[in-house]
């Protein structure tokens, strides 16, 4: 009997120490609060005094401006402090917001690098950090954010290469890295992103060939690679697979070869910009079938031959640029 009660006593002791251990280590809304207070402490300029007045420890974090909590766990699931004119850095503690699904800090003046601790935000679906002053490399760990759908670092000062690990974000729909100083080639592995709808990498210093796998992603709606130093030619068959393509902007690069006639099978194309490259050969006859076109810019290439008659059928066209080629024929309006 004595032995048994001793047994129960030790079990009880063990259980209570386990529980207290859990209580001190398990993250809860207090963890989220201290993560957000760490962020607030890193803000050096808050012109509208929004965080200063609103993010007060006297009210629940879930009532703070820009903070959304989940109904089930009462943990922070979304943080939206976009467009508040904030200046500051991103503290590592932000990685403690373990239930976060959406982080929108776009249109502020955040600077510095992305802390490695953000790798712990494994539930993230939206990571929107565009239009800030963030710098450093795009860290390879972003590839482990397996639930990410929307990833934008546009208009920052990121340098270095696009890490091939981005191709591990298998649910990614939007990749927007435009207006940075990225260099090197677009990773070949990008073709693994089978849900990708928009790839926007314009205004960087990317070079090398277009990854062939890119033109195999049938979900693509927009490919925007303008103003880089991409070279090589376009694959001969693009459109059989890219039936949803509405936007193809490859302007201001070093692309060469012919314009593939199969491009005229991309019947949803509204914007087609191939200007300022070194494309040669003729304008495919079938372009007259691209009746959804609003903008067609082919200026400043080495195109020859006759402007297809079918251009007269492109009634939605608002801008047409064919200048600085060696073309014959007439169209009603020629913009450069
Ligand atoms: C959260 O956990 C801490 C210990 O880490 C505890 O002191 C606090 O009471 C908990 N808060 C809530 C709201 O459960
Ligand atoms: C903070 O802002 C939210 C939403 O704008 C508002 O509902 C809340 O009352 C504010 N809290 C304080 C303490 O000002
Ligand atoms: C964040 O808030 C802005 C302004 O209300 C809104 O336009 C934007 O869509 C929000 N971001 C997300 C990811 O919901
Ligand atoms: C939060 O993050 C910081 C830095 O990453 C860490 O030191 C701290 O222990 C974390 N946990 C809590 C509960 O704040
Ligand atoms: C992005 O950066 C470019 C070049 O600096 C600038 O022209 C453009 O206005 C910026 N876009 C936004 C939305 O700030
Ligand atoms: C992508 O994920 C796989 C396993 O999920 C891993 O083995 C591989 O190293 C990752 N690739 C990159 C480039 O991070
Ligand atoms: C693209 O798809 C075609 C047809 O399915 C296939 O033959 C080709 O190997 C694929 N290319 C790449 C780079 O994945
Ligand atoms: C453009 O292509 C032509 C051949 O079509 C080639 O002779 C010329 O060197 C190329 N120019 C540039 C700037 O790459
Ligand atoms: C334009 O489309 C029609 C109908 O799909 C097709 O018969 C015709 O061959 C196309 N014209 C050109 C020049 O590709
Ligand atoms: C315009 O389209 C119609 C109907 O598809 C076709 O019959 C006609 O030949 C086209 N016009 C030109 C100039 O290609």
How confident is residue 26, by pLDDT bands cut at 50, 70 and 90? confident
Closest ligand to 239 CA? 7
pLDDT in tens, 229-270: 999 999 998 888 999 999 999 999 999 999 999 999 999 999
How confident is residue 149, by pLDDT bands cut at 50, 70 and 90? very high
Q: In whole angstroms, what is the distance from residue 282 CA to residue 237 CA?
A: 17
Query: What's residue 268's pLDDT?
Result: 97
Query: What's residue 57's pLDDT?
Result: 87
Higher pLDDT: 45 or 238? It is: 45
Read off the tokens for 334: 């020629």
Residue nearest to atom 3 of ligand 9 (CA): 289
Ligand 7 mean position, distance from CA 306 (Å): 33
pLDDT in tens, 173-185: 999 999 999 999 9
Query: What's residue 24's pLDDT?
Result: 52
Residue 312, ligand 7, Cβ within 6 A:
no
From residue 52, alpha-carbon distances to 40, 117, 244 in Å are 8, 25, 46
Mean pLDDT of 277-306: 96
Instruction: Identify which of 283, 288, 313 to mutate to test ligand 10's pocket (most ligand atoms within 8 A of the CB).
Output: 313
Instruction: Identify which of 214, 215, 216 to mutate to test ligand 7's pocket (most ligand atoms within 8 A of the CB).
Output: 216
Our CA angle for 51, 52, 53, nearest 5°, is 95
Structural domains for the chain: 27-334 (3.80.10.10)
Q: In whole angstroms, what is the distance from residue 182 CA to residue 122 CA?
A: 25
SS3 of residue 321 by DSSP: strand
Residue nearest to atom 12 of ligand 10 (CA): 310
Closest ligand to 130 CA? 5
**Greatest CA span in the chain, whole angstroms?**
107
């Amino acid at each position: 009997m004595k032995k048994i009660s001793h047994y129960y006593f030790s079990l009880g002791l063990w259980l209570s120490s386990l529980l207290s251990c859990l209580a001190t280590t398990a993250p809860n809304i207090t963890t989220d609060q201290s993560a957000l207070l760490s962020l607030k402490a890193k803000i050096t300029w808050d012109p509208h005094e929004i965080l200063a007045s609103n993010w007060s420890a006297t009210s629940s974090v879930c009532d703070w401006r820009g903070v959304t909590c989940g109904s089930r766990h009462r943990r922070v699931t979304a943080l939206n402090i976009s467009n508040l004119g904030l200046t500051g850095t991103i503290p590592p503690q932000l990685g403690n917001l373990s239930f976060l699904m959406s982080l929108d800090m776009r249109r502020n003046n955040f600077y510095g690098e992305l802390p490695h601790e953000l790798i712990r935000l494994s539930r993230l679906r939206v990571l929107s950090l565009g239009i800030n002053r963030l710098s450093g490399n795009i860290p390879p760990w972003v590839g482990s954010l397996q639930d990410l759908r929307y990833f934008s670092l546009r208009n920052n000062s990121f340098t270095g290469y696009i890490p091939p690990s981005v191709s591990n974000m298998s649910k990614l729909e939007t990749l927007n890295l435009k207006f940075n100083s990225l260099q090197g080639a677009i990773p070949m592995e990008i073709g693994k992103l089978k849900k990708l709808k928009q790839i926007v990498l314009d205004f960087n210093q990317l070079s090398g060939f277009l990854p062939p796998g890119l033109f195999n992603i049938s979900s693509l709606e927009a490919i925007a690679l303008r103003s880089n130093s991409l070279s090589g030619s376009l694959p001969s068959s693009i459109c059989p697979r890219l039936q949803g393509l509405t936007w193809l902007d490859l302007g201001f690069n070093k692309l060469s070869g012919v314009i593939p006639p199969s491009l005229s099978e991309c019947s949803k194309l509204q914007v087609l910009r191939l200007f300022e490259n070194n494309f040669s050969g003729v304008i495919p006859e079938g372009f007259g079938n691209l009746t959804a076109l609003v903008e067609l810019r082919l200026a400043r290439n080495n195109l020859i031959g006759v402007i297809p008659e079918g251009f007269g059928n492109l009634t939605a066209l608002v801008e047409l640029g064919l200048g600085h080629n060696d073309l014959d024929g007439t169209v009603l309006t020629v913009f450069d």
